Chain A
Amino acid sequence: MTSVLSAPPGTDPVERFLHRLAKFEPLEAEARDALRRAIVRGPLVPPYQEVHGESVPDVVVLLSGWACHFQMLGNGKRQISTLVVPGDFADFGFLTGSAADIQYVTTAPSQFGRIRARQFSELTEQFPSIMRATLKAAAMETAIGRERLISLGLRTAIERLAHLICELWWRLSVAGLVGPDNSFHLPMTQAELGAALGLSTVHVNRTLQALRRRDIIGLQGGKVHIHDLKYLTTLSSFDAGYLTGAAPSRAT
């Protein structure tokens, strides 16, 4: 079965992960081979499957699909804190061995890849470049979180949404998931976008419609078409510098 977010023709999702990882730090052919052999591809997981952290966390990678880290407060309110796109590590609990408090949910049919914790540790000893790349990926996730914090604290609704769209455009470009018409699948509902951006569903809807009316973006069938990336970038003071290893060729 092929999900809307599976790799483009000719691109295996494991290769996409390796390609992304190597953007953080060049990986020797032997290191790539070793990773390729170590990754166990999981089954296709349906949308809205919750995944909870394990006490002895393995290295889990999102091969295809989409996932969101979230936390629910006692009052039932939910904040989505991290968006996991194909080619990303699903979380970095394996670095500290403390993933038990991590929970995420798939929002599209998704496939995860897994490397046993012990095997990963052996791999990183053999190939320090793998650890350097992994740490840079973790640092990028932290930087993304910092930018989100700035959005929640300082940016208006339209700026928050514009910033997120720019960020996803960059991240998905690196993963080869932005189409030639500058479009990408965004398998999140308006309620989920609201939970990520601290906005009500109706406010997300109003804001998306405002961007659409001005022909900055188009929305169709779960796809975002970017018509004016420069406008979005300027509006949200987006500076891709925090997205290490992300260097799409088509920055128009």
Chain B
Amino acid sequence: MPRYYFDIHDGERLAVDHVGTELDDLSSARDEATRTLSEIGAEEIPRDGPHREFAIAVRDDSGNVLFELRLTFHTRSF
């Protein structure tokens, strides 16, 4: 199984993934990244601040970035 690396930016800090996770294919990697981003969002958004941005960049074994997901939380007051 190929190994994918998920670099996660939680709005404050980038955590580079040096370990990686073995997954079936690119589609599984996308599902994993999507689920992870939504879990992190669900956890972090209620904690702090009206504006938050989270992102995950997924790399393959050779370091190529395969895709990036971004989640933005924005509050607008009237």
Contacts and interface: CB of A to CB of B under 8 A. Distances in A.
Do A and B come from the same complex? yes
Interface of A: 156-157, 190, 199-203, 205-206, 209-210
Q: For this complex, into which size category does the number of interface residues on chain B fall?
A: 10 to 19
Contacts of B32: 200-202
A202 B43 contact: no
A199 B36 CA distance: 8
Contact of A205 (B19, B35, B40): B19
Contact of B39 (A199, A205, A210): A199
Contacts of B18: 209
Nearest to A208: B19
B15 interface: yes
B21 interface: yes
29 contacts: A156-B43, A157-B39, A157-B40, A157-B43, A190-B21, A199-B39, A200-B36, A200-B39, A201-B21, A201-B23, A202-B6, A202-B21, A202-B32, A202-B36, A203-B35, A203-B36, A203-B39, A203-B40, A205-B6, A205-B17, A206-B6, A206-B8, A206-B15, A206-B17, A206-B36, A209-B17, A209-B18, A209-B19, A210-B15
Nearest to B10: A206
Given A156-B43, A203-B39, A205-B17, 12 more contacts: A157-B40, A157-B43, A200-B32, A200-B39, A202-B6, A202-B33, A205-B6, A206-B6, A206-B36, A209-B17, A209-B18, A209-B19
